[in-house]
Amino acid sequence: MRASLSPNGAFSRRDFMRGATAAVALRLLNGARPAAAQGDSRVDSPVATKAIPHSGEPIPVIGLGTANDFQSRPQGADRDRLKQVIDGLLAQGCKLIDTASSYGEAESVLGDLLSDQDRARVFLATKIEDGSRKGGLAEFRHSLERLRYRQADLLQLHNVQNPHQDLAPFREWKAQGLCRYVGVTTTFKGDYDAAEAVIRREKPDFFQVDYSLADRTAEKRLLPAARDAGAAVLTALPYGRSSVFAAVRGKSVPEWARDFDATTWPQFFLKFLLGHEAVTAVIPGTTNPVHLADNVSAGRGRFPDAKQRQAMIDFFAAL
């Protein structure tokens, strides 16, 4: 059940036409993808979903991060480009958008860019810095105001540091209908022990952690802890802030990656993450509609199994 500003769930002819326009735009953009991606027979197949363990609700495996170029209020062509990225995400059946109170103006930018019809489709995840009952609630209400939402889908405690962090206030806000799920995040190695303690004790609905082929530290303890706790996992920094692209610059995607339907590097890197049993969805950051289309295509077709993932690890290590 959603409670956005006008969640009537009905799609008017205008909405349909706008979605259709975005789909056409994406098809045109698909034509501009790298040569290796052209002729991809999976272009019309649906993006895969995975279940959120605590509820069974399916969620498309490709999302969008807003930590970078959503931080300042865009004007003119820059605003159009961000809107095109969001329209592209939704037109392809994806819905997860991840933001935070600390990402500059990102919440306000999303509040401006998302129409009421968009809000009814988006799975909106945000984060607050203050985990206390009083301060956290004030911060969360401010986030909802900026986002123009009455209810977030997911509220996360940003960068959990305290191993004794109590998530009871978050669960209370969930019971009050201010959010549908609660979670914690970390991208700091020094806080990994604290994150593990909180995940195992508090069993949040979601856990967000940095995980990419360039940094697999989360595999050791945090992903198993999330699996044991039944927490859905979102992978922050799936491209290691572009470091994975730098590692393969000038190199072709190996032929054997076609066995799991990866024909571009973004597909290779995202499918690696989605092949992990504990990973629910990835949230690459982009403000480029062509990149968005390629990221979305990583959610189609097959994902690598354990043997194929090991071959990817060996390949990347040998670069």
Ligand X SMILES: NC(=O)c1ccc[n+]([C@@H]2O[C@H](COP(=O)([O-])OP(=O)(O)OC[C@H]3O[C@@H](n4cnc5c(N)ncnc54)[C@H](OP(=O)(O)O)[C@@H]3O)[C@@H](O)[C@H]2O)c1
Gyration radius from the chain CA atoms = 19
In 3D, which of 190, 125, 205 has the Cα closest to residue 158? 125
Diameter of the chain by CA atoms? 55
Residues in Cβ contact with 318 at an 8 Å cutoff, skipping those fewer than 6 apart: none
Q: Which is nearer to ligand X, 117 or 159 (CB)?
A: 159
Instruction: Select 117 or 295, whichever has its Cβ closest to ligand X.
Output: 295
> Which of residues 60 and 266 has its CB atom nearest to ligand X in the complex?
266
Shortest Cβ 13–ligand X spacing (Å): 32
* Residues lying near ligand X in the complex (CB under 6 A): 65-68, 98, 158-159, 185, 187, 208, 236-242, 245, 266, 283-288, 291, 294-295
Nearer residue to ligand X within complex by CB, 7 or 248: 248
Closer Cβ to ligand X, 92 or 159, answer by number: 159
Q: Which residue has the tokens 């859905």?
A: 232
Residue 128: CB minimum distance to ligand X, A: 11
Cβ 15 to ligand X shortest distance, Å: 26
Q: How far is the CB of 209 from ligand X (least distance, A)?
A: 8
CA–CA–CA angle 136, 98, 209 (5° rounding): 85
Q: How far is the CB of 64 from ligand X (least distance, A)?
A: 8
Q: Which residue has the tokens 């998530």?
A: 167
Nearest residue (CB) to ligand X, 49 versus 102: 102
CB of 224 to ligand X, least distance (A): 20
The answer to whether the beta carbons of residues 179 and 194 sit under 8 Å apart is no
Residue 313 parent element (H or E):
helix 306-317
Amino acid at 17: M
DSSP string, 55-74: T--EEESB-EE-SSTTSS--
